[in-house]
Structure 1
Amino acid sequence: MTIATDIIARLGGTRAAAKLLDKPPSTVQSWKGSGFIPARYQSEILRRAQRAGIAMRASDLVGLDQPQPDGEHPTSFDNAPSSLSQKNAA
C-alpha cells in the first residue's frame, strides 16, 4: 500500500476523499496512481481530516512511519552523502 492509497482509504475512498477535500475525483485518483500526495495539498488534507474526526498526523502524509525497502528509517543519515551527514552532525 502506498502513502496515497492509505490516506485515501482512511478518508473513505476516492469519492469520499474528493468530496471532503472539495477536489475532483480525478485529482484524488491521480494521487493513487502516483503513490503520493503532492505537498501543496497535505496541510489542507490534515486540517479537513481532523475536522471530520479522522485521526491523522502530518507524518502519515509523508510516510515517516513506514518502513523503507532497505530497512532504514527515512530520516536516518547513516547512508547519506558525507557532506549531508557532517552538516547535520554539527
Structure 2
Amino acid sequence: MGIQAIIESFGGIRGMATKLGHRNHTTVQGWADRGLIPAQRQKEVLDAARKYGIEVNLADIIPDPPTPFRNPTRRHRRTAPGRVAA
C-alpha cells in the first residue's frame, strides 16, 4: 500500500487531517506531494488507523530505501598492488 492509498483509506487528505486532529489539511497534503509520511508522524498515523479501524501497518508507511545508482557504462580499471590507476 502506498502513501496515496493510505490517505484514501482515511477518507482523503481532509479526512486524514481531521482524523489526526490537524486543524489544517496542508500537512497531509505535503505528505501526499512528497510521497512519504515523516518518521516523527508515523506512530501518530498508526494510532489513528487503529482508532478508526483502518487497516494500515508499519510496512505500508515506511518507504522503501533508495536504490544505489550504478553507472553500467563505467568500467573500473584494475591495477597492480601498490600502483595507482591513471
Q: How many residues align?
A: 64
Q: Are 1:57 and 2:57 counterparts? A: yes
Query: How big is the alpha-carbon RMSD for the aligned residues of Structure 1 and Structure 2?
Result: 1.7
Q: Is this contact kept in 1: 2:36–2:63, CA < 8 A? A: no
2:78 corresponds to which residue?
Answer: none
Q: Which runs of 5+ in 2 are unaligned?
A: 66-86
Over 2 Å off, 4+ runs: none
Task: Tell me the residue number matched to 1:22.
Answer: 21
Normalised by the size of structure 1, how large is the TM-score?
A: 0.64
Structure with more helix by fraction: 1
- What amino acid maps onto 1:56 in structure 2? V
Structure 1: segments with no counterpart, 5+ residues: 65-73, 75-90
**Normalised TM-score (structure 2):** 0.67
The share of aligned pairs that are identical, in percent, is 36
User: In structure 2, what is the Cα distance between the partners aligned to 1:4 and 1:55?
Assistant: 13
Within the alignment, does 1:7 sit opposite 2:6 as a pair?
Answer: yes
Q: Distance in 2 between matches of 1:21 and 1:15?
A: 10
